[in-house]
């Protein structure tokens, strides 16, 4: 055999060098880059402004951010016609400086509505026609303000109940189910390039909610409504079984041509914290990322706050907590290391 062919044969037969495999990521940003997805966090704006360690950790670790409350209706228009954009602007401006993309949350929800709106509907001073105009103007104003700066919007949030019925709200009661299609159309008109999502909790496992949401998406698509994604909130607890069919549920939405995303992941536990509970929590976080990576249409995994210092969980679930990747002192927990160890099945 000629020397050149012998050399070539030896190269082909040799084991792959170590650099053929990605090096272990140093942080979540590098993990996201290696997997080709966005890894993000909800952001507490007051902490972003006031806490240097919070700010530093957020911008080191995450390539995607969501305003925890700053873009909700009661925050941006607490008085009719009086807009307070400072907090939402602060998030968008910080994201631009730190090479992060933004999820807008949320345009239409039954909660955290301003008092002037709910009171006006309740006393009849705002009728159905005016309510529709108010909703259109709210969506148009907010989406247009951030046109080109928001990667994806949670357009409608939590519109299906756990029993599979449509959630009663001032929108459904006074405008009928057509408000959902209208919301997507108005948002698309205001920013044609933004990805528009339906977002809900328990969509990971609850069969009635899954079937109704799938039917809702199909109905919107049949009408030519611009809907681009389905968001799975992912508020989990180790006292409950991990939703083992989650990846297949994601695929059912992906099969409709949608992006999918894990939009609000946290994993709470009954207090006190133990090493065993932290290990179990780590497994849930790892499985959630693995499920996302197993579905090609899954573009994002966002945690609903990254530090227990500012977690929403203790306030809503008495006796529970420690739901985040970092503790109150911003020390990474086993769940953080578990995410860094995930390898892509793609």
Distance, in Å, from the CA atom of 138 to the CA atom of 11, rounded to the nearest integer, reads 63
User: Would you state the pLDDT for residue 344?
Assistant: 78
User: Would you state the pLDDT for residue 20?
Assistant: 39
pLDDT category, 123, cuts 50, 70, 90?
A: very high
Domain spans in the chain, listed from the N-terminal domain onward = 24-340
For residues 108-133, average pLDDT: 98
Tell whether the model's pLDDT for residue 7 goes beyond 50: no
Residues marked active site are found at 264
Share of the chain above pLDDT 70, in %: 93
- Nearest CA to 220 out of 265, 193, 171, 185 is that of 185
In tens, the pLDDT along 290-311 reads: 999 999 999 999 999 999 999 9
User: Would you state the pLDDT for residue 22?
Assistant: 61
Q: How far is residue 241 from each of residues 204, 267, 288, 335, measured CA to CA in Å?
A: 12, 11, 13, 17
Q: Which CATH number fits domain 24-340: 3.20.20.80, 2.40.110.10, 1.10.3720.10, 3.40.50.1000?
A: 3.20.20.80
Q: How far is residue 207 from each of residues 27, 150, 288, measured CA to CA in Å?
A: 35, 31, 19
For residues 125-151, average pLDDT: 98
pLDDT category, 152, cuts 50, 70, 90?
A: very high
pTM: 0.92
- Nearest CA to 235 out of 264, 261, 255 is that of 264
In tens, the pLDDT along 43-67 reads: 999 999 999 999 999 999 999 999 9
User: Would you state the pLDDT for residue 16?
Assistant: 38
Tell whether the model's pLDDT for residue 168 goes beyond 60: yes
Instruction: Answer yes or no: are the C-beta atoms of 188 and 226 closer than 8 Å.
Output: yes
What does residue 106 show for φ and ψ, rounded to 5 degrees? -135, 155
pLDDT category, 24, cuts 50, 70, 90?
A: confident
């Amino acid at each position: 055999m000629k020397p050149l062919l012998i050399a070539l044969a030896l190269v082909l037969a040799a084991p792959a060098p170590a650099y053929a495999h990605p090096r272990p990521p140093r942080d979540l940003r590098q993990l996201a880059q290696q997997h080709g997805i966005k890894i993000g966090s909800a952001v507490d704006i007051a902490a972003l402004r006031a806490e240097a360690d919070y700010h530093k950790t957020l911008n080191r670790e995450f390539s995607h951010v969501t305003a925890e409350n700053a873009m909700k209706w009661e925050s941006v228009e607490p008085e009719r016609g009086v807009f307070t954009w400072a907090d939402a602007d602060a998030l968008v401006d910080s994201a631009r400086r730190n090479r992060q993309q933004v999820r807008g949350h949320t345009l239409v929800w039954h909660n955290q509505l301003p008092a002037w709106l709910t009171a006006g509907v309740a006393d009849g001073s705002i009728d159905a026609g005016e309510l529709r105009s108010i909703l259109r103007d709210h969506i148009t104003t907010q989406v247009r303000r951030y046109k080109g700066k928001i990667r994806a919007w949670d357009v409608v949030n939590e519109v299906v109940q756990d029993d599979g019925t449509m959630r009663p709200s001032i929108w459904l009661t006074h405008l009928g189910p057509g408000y959902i299609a209208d919301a997507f159309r108005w948002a698309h008109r205001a920013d044609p390039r933004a990805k528009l999502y339906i977002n809900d909790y328990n969509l990971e496992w609850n069969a009635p909610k899954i079937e109704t949401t799938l039917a809702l998406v199909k109905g919107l698509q049949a009408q030519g409504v611009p809907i681009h994604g389905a968001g799975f909130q992912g508020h989990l607890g180790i006292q409950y079984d991990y939703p083992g069919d989650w990846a297949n549920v994601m695929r059912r939405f992906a099969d409709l041509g949608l992006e999918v995303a894990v939009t609000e992941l946290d994993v709470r536990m009954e207090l006190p914290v133990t090493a065993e509970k932290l290990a179990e929590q780590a497994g849930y976080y790892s499985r959630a990322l693995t499920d996302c990576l197993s579905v090609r249409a899954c573009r994002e995994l966002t945690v609903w706050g990254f530090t227990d210092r500012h977690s929403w969980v203790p306030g809503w679930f008495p006796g529970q907590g420690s739901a985040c990747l970092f503790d109150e002192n911003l020390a990474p927990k086993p769940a953080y290391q578990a995410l860094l160890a995930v390898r892509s099945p793609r």
